[in-house]
Amino acid sequence: MAVDHQEGTSPSPGDRPVTGDLFDPACPTRELLDRIGDRWTSMLVKVLAHAYPGECGFAELRRAAPGISHKMLSQTLRHLIDDGLVSRRVEAAVPPRTWYSLTELGRTLDEPLAAVRAWAEANMPAIRDARRRGR
């Protein structure tokens, strides 16, 4: 399958191109789509954008995202921080308290993820019907 794509340029030597072929496992855009398409990112972006639009502690995030384990919450937050979508602030208290918030870049992700969530909610009945027919 041939797919047209635009080759990007590296911001600094040694970095991979910013855009490329989504069918290439090393494509940076594919890597980012995998990250933002994972099961917990959409939920955490929504929680940080709406339930806690300022800052939110780890425990509050865990309560607001039912089903996420401590390990997955930590790992997802770490990835979102590395990608510049979430900021982390540690308060020097006893015990230390850590606060999370969406960055300006992270806030721009809320709208597209909301559109995907709305699509999923609107089309879930049709998806369920298709799954039942397929069995």
pLDDT tens for each residue of 61-79: 999 999 999 999 999 999 9
99 close to 110: Cβ distance less than 8 angstroms: no
Domains and CATH numbers, the chain: 28-134 (1.10.10.10)
48 close to 106: Cβ distance less than 8 angstroms: yes
Q: What is the pLDDT averaged over residues 53-60?
A: 93
Q: What pLDDT, in 10s, does the model give residues 7-54?
A: 444 344 455 555 678 888 888 888 888 888 888 999 999 999 998 888
Q: pTM, whole model, 2 decimals?
A: 0.78
Residue 98 sits at φ, ψ, to 5 deg, of -115, 135
Q: What pLDDT, in 10s, does the model give residues 85-113?
A: 999 999 999 999 999 999 999 999 999 99
Residue position matching structure tokens 């540690």: 90
Question: Nearest CA to 105 among 61, 60, 45?
Answer: 45
Q: What tokens does 93 get?
A: 């208290």
Q: Which pLDDT score is estimated for 123?
A: 97
Q: Which pLDDT score is estimated for 19?
A: 61
Structure confidence at residue 4 as a pLDDT band (50, 70, 90): very low
Q: Break the chain down into helix, strand, coil percent, rounded to 5.
A: 55, 10, 35
